[in-house]
Structure 1
Amino acid sequence: MSGAHASLPLIEYQPPLHGRLVSVTRRVDDITPAAFLRHAQGRERVFWRDGRSGFTLAGMGVAADLMGWGETRLVTLERQARQLFAHAVLPDAGGDLAKPRLFGGMAFRNDFVPDNTWTGFNPAHFVLPHVQLACRDDACWITLNTLVPVEDDPAETAPQLEAALTAWLDELHTAPPAPPTPATPPVSTLRYPMEFAQWDAIIRAAIDRFHTTPLQKVVLARVCEVRMDRRVDVDAALANLAARYPECYVFLFEPRPHHAFFGATPELLVHLAGDRLTSMGLAGSIQRGATPAEDAALAAELLASKKDRHEHALVLAALERRLRPLAADLCIPDAPQV
């Protein structure tokens, strides 16, 4: 089925064809993101948490799929998103916290073709969850998103959506308690599909280009395939990541059940609020210490590293080159921070 799905032509979201977005929301004080995700197991799921602020989003199911391919994928996604929200009927309750959000991502390369590890992930794919939970500080709001025919009266549709949201919450509240978290399954095999000779050749070619071209920085990577005796408990993995990296962004994108991309990252690509844009690139890393004193010593070692300072300067220059033409004012720290 996946091969047949991949060969289908792209059909962009259009309100007359797919329907208009209508959302209802209500505040909930007795649902945690962990319980929400656990209840959504076996469905499409998304999750995002800002470790520093605690702002958390979780989603289940799909109300709308937005996809794009090739060099025009960003333009295609933007066009679909504008149409989706331009015709939407959204609730006033909950303010911005309860508003529907799109979750997704895209490949770095325009010509990327999903295969092997990335089978099931489109080159550029964002989803609007059918049910969304948003939590900030002590407030949590749950929002039900649905596409309805454009000729339908939203005022008549809203009570049906409210009833559906009530039924979903009742189902969650009466769900059996979570079973104990299973132990991490042992690794059965670990392998690198790329032969070492090929990997070595790629590294040597990059070094040669440093000497013969203006190239200053390259990021190389190869796939490591790890197979375990049983399915990975994604929920337990997310909880572990949040505990081990409390200041990172923890995320999950599961566009098909049990096909999940998840992790924790300290980097912030772009945060846009009004006319203010913030970006935080990361260049250079070092292992954690066992004590605060060891952490401080390792941080000082990292800051003193000429190699890591040079890499940081390259990233900073690239960000400045991209942002300077767009900004009326650009604030850049005088020195890197750990």
Structure 2
Amino acid sequence: MAYPLVRHRRLRSTDALRSLVRETSVGTNDLIAPIFVTEGTAVKDEITSMPGVYHWSLDTLEEELAEIVGVGIQAVLIFGVPDHKDATGTSAFDEDGIVQRAIRKIKALYPGLVVIADTCLCQFTDHGHCGVVHTTDCGAEIDNDESLALLAKAAVAQAKAGADIIAPSNMMDGFVAAIRQGLDEAGFTNTPIMSYAVKYSSAYYGPFREAVHSTPQFGDRKTYQMDPANAREALREAQSDVDEGADFLMVKPGLAYLDIVRMLRDRYSLPIVIYNVSAEYSMVKAAALQGWIDEKAVVLETLTGMKRAGADLIITYHAKDAARWLKGN
């Protein structure tokens, strides 16, 4: 009888052996939990398209924070839903804007929790775009350089409020350099920038846009977010942000772009962040609610795949559940 020369199954025969030779692991300290804060009082409203994810007002926010900290998560990403929107998104850089007030509250309650502030204008503008819009004879146009000045103001306001990390998600050209200069001039030279370096114009953002009420009122974001068909362009985008002083590089969305994560991991030594975005979350939740999948198994496999592709950190709406599961709860 002929035998195989190599028996790979020897190392798969027991749980202990499989654990011993496991190449990739996901830990609670790899996870970043997004939070949606909104104006009002006594608000804890579930987002329809994102079961288990809520809008929180400042007076109810402590409930969410206590749960996040209680499961061992060390970092949160803050998104604000304002009650006032205008053409230039002024509440994004108002010292009393919802994000700035939320940051101050979080740092007062949990000083050791890492607070990451999403820095964009789309949820604060009445047109829903990530920059200043001008109307020309050719139609509406996003003014790149004018937008940079406002984004830098927003970043400084967030840093003043106590944000530990600034995470600009706007995809304007030169945004890392503009924000770095703004932070440095305001005395925040040690505040790192987690750049949404490679952000695609994706269909996977639908539930998020419901959550922050940021659907564009006209057109789309294809003139500043990346074409999903392009990979080499991702390297150009990332290189620009590295040259401008980014401290982290992010790829968004996650599942359909694991090849991009690997490309960045192979090229750069900076921490790589992946965003497990809203529709990726909602598809899993919808299938789990129907009993079609094992939610725990699918989520942990997905997060492991993201780490295996090269991500150091994972922003995910599954963060609290994943943290519990990783602890065996």
TM-score (norm 1): 0.23
User: Bigger radius of gyration, 1 or 2?
Assistant: 1
Q: Judging by fraction of residues, say which structure has more strand.
A: 1
TM (norm. structure 2) is 0.23
